[in-house]
Chains A and B, each alone.
Chain A
Amino acid sequence: MKKKEGIIFTALLTCLVGAALIVSFSYNPKTRMVPVLVGCVSLILSLIVFLGEFFPQFRQLFEVDLFARDTIVEREKSVGRWDEKKGLFIAIFWVLLFAVLLFLVGFNIAVPVCVLVYVKFFGKQNWPVSLSVTALIWVFIYGLFQLIMDYTLFEGVLFGGIV
Chain B
Amino acid sequence: MGLFEAMLISFFKAFEFQNLIFISLGTVIGLLFGCLPGLSSVVGLSLLLPLTFGMEPLSGMFLYAGVMGANPFGGSISAILINTPGTAVNVATCFDGYPMTQRGEAGRALGISATASGLGAMFGLVILIALIPVVRQTIMLFGPPEFLMFILFGLGSIVVASRGNMIKGLLGGGLGMLLASVGRSPITGSIRFSRDIQYFWDGIELIPFVIGMFALSEVINLTVTGKTKIATQKVETKISGVWEGVKDVFRHKACFIRSSAIGTLIGMIPGIGGATANFIAYTVAMQTSKHPEKFGTGIAEGVVAAESANNAKEGGSLLPTVGFGIPGSVEMAVLLGAFILHGLVPGPLLIKENLDIVWAIIWGLVFSNVLASTFGLLAAKILVRVSFIEVSIIIPVIAAISLTGAYANRGNIIDMLMAVMFGFFSYFMRRNGFPVITLVIGFVLGKLAEVSFFQSLMVSRGDYFIFFKRPLTVILLLLLLAVLIMPFVKRKGKHKETV
Contact = CB atoms under 8 A, between A and B. Distances in A.
Chain B interface, DSSP helix/strand/loop, else mixed: helix
Given A17-B175, A81-B226, A45 B413 contact: no
A64 B491 CA distance: 9
Contacts of A46: 171
A64 B487 contact: yes
Given A9-B428, A111-B404, A17 B174 contact: yes
B167 A42 contact: no
Interface of A: 5-6, 9-10, 13, 16-17, 20, 23-24, 27-28, 30-35, 38-39, 41-42, 45-46, 48-49, 52, 59, 62-67, 69-70, 72-73, 76, 78-84, 86-88, 90-92, 94-96, 98-99, 102-103, 107, 111, 114-115, 118-119, 122-125, 129, 133, 137, 140-141, 144-145, 149, 151-154, 161, 163
B225 A31 contact: no
Q: Which of A64, A73, A91, A92 has the most chain B CB within a 10 Å cutoff? A: A64
A62 B165 contact: yes
Interface stretch (B127-135, B187-195, B234-242, B373-381): B187-195
Interface string B420-447: 1001100110011100000000000010
A67 B223 contact: no
Given A31-B185, A79-B232, A111-B400, A91 B432 contact: no
B292 interface: no
B54 A103 contact: no
A67 B164 CA distance: 11
B276 interface: yes
A143 to B, nearest CB: 12
Nearest to A24: B192
B299 interface: no
B31 interface: no
B279 A69 contact: yes
A80 B225 contact: yes
Given A67-B280, A95-B423, A118-B392, A28 B178 contact: no
Contact of A137 (B187, B220, B396, B414): B396
A84 to B, nearest CB: 6
A97 B316 CA distance: 43
Interface string B200-234: 00000000000000001001100111111000100
Contact of B227 (A63, A72, A80, A144): A80
A87 B390 contact: no
A116 to B, nearest CB: 9
Q: Which of B95, B185, B224, B228 has the most chain A CB within a 10 Å cutoff? A: B224
B195 to A, nearest CB: 9
B390 A123 contact: yes
Interface string B398-409: 011101100110
B223 A45 contact: no
B37 to A, nearest CB: 8
A65 B420 CA distance: 31
A92 B219 CA distance: 11
A95 B174 CA distance: 28
B450 A34 contact: yes
B171 A45 contact: yes
22 contacts: A13-B175, A34-B449, A38-B446, A42-B175, A62-B165, A64-B164, A69-B275, A72-B92, A80-B228, A84-B224, A98-B399, A99-B420, A102-B407, A103-B413, A103-B416, A107-B407, A119-B392, A125-B393, A133-B396, A153-B404, A153-B408, A161-B413
B60 to A, nearest CB: 14
Contacts of B391: 123
B178 A42 contact: yes
Given A17-B174, A90-B223, A123-B390, A115 B396 contact: yes
Contact of A10 (B178, B280, B417, B432): B432
Nearest to B223: A91
A102 to B, nearest CB: 6
B190 A31 contact: yes
